[in-house]
Amino acid sequence: MSKGSETQPRERFSSRMGFLLISAGCAVGLGNVWRFPYITGEYGGAAFIIMYLVFLALFALPILVMEFTIGRASQKGAGRAFEVLEPEGSKWHRLKWLNFAGTYILMMFYTTVAGWMLAFTVKSAQGLFVGMSAEEVGTVFTNMLANPGEQLVYMALVVIIGLACTSAGLKNGVERISKAMMSCFSSSSLSWPCAPSRFRALAPAWPST
């Protein structure tokens, strides 16, 4: 059997829209949601956005194209892509360990922050924030940070939910859930300006320029 040969049919996206929504879900990170507006207001507004787009085109876009190219040519994940594409006798496959390390470090961050978000979702459903000011909500968050046990429970729940999604497969798991979540994200983003003032008051105050 040649190196990189398939042992079973590889699952594919059911539609181009599913691929685009998953790609958008991966690209739109938490920094884009909560940090980008803050940094934009702090560093000049439109001038910052122009420079952001310039560097996005110079650095991020070429990396994105290379990543798509490697994945499309190898039809493998990060762990096997270089083994399939590298010339015979070369050592490019050693780069996969950097991919693994980066993924684990990234997941340490995302599972923790997603746990915070899940905790606040539960607290919101319980009505904990009703009548609270933004400062009081901030105190709830600070108290949660001082409670490692609570954070560990919610982080574990996030990991379990992620495992359940991925174990269902690409089409029935990741793609289907991403479509629903990205649709909800788009709807909530568009409806936020119309949200009641008690909800908008929870948003952080952006510094004036």
**Which H/E stretch holds residue 188?**
helix 176-191
Cα 199 to its chain centre, rounded Å, is: 23
Rounded Cα–Cα distance for residues 12 and 31 (Å): 29
Give me the amino acid identity at 57.
Answer: A
**pLDDT value of position 207:** 43
Mean pLDDT split into 10-residue runs, the chain, 209 residues: 53 77 72 72 81 87 86 83 85 86 88 91 90 88 93 95 86 81 70 52 45
The pLDDT of residue 201:
46
Instruction: Quote the pLDDT of residue 140.
Output: 92
Q: Residue 33: what pLDDT?
A: 66
What burial class does residue 202 get, using C-beta atoms within 10 Å of its C-beta: 0-12 exposed, 13-18 middle, 19+ buried? middle
What pLDDT sits at residue 139?
Answer: 92
What pLDDT was estimated at residue 174? 83
pLDDT for 206: 43
Please give the pLDDT value at position 109.
87
Looking at residue 43, what DSSP letter applies?
T
pLDDT computed for residue 34 by the predictor? 66
Give the number of other Cβ atoms within 10 Å of residue 175's Cβ: 22
Model pLDDT, residue 77: 80
Angle, CA 196 vertex, CA 193 and CA 33 arms, to 5°: 45
What does the alpha-carbon distance between residue 104 and residue 113 come to, in Å, rounded to a whole number?
14
Determine the Cα–Cα distance for residues 140 and 117; give it in Å rounded to an integer. Answer: 13
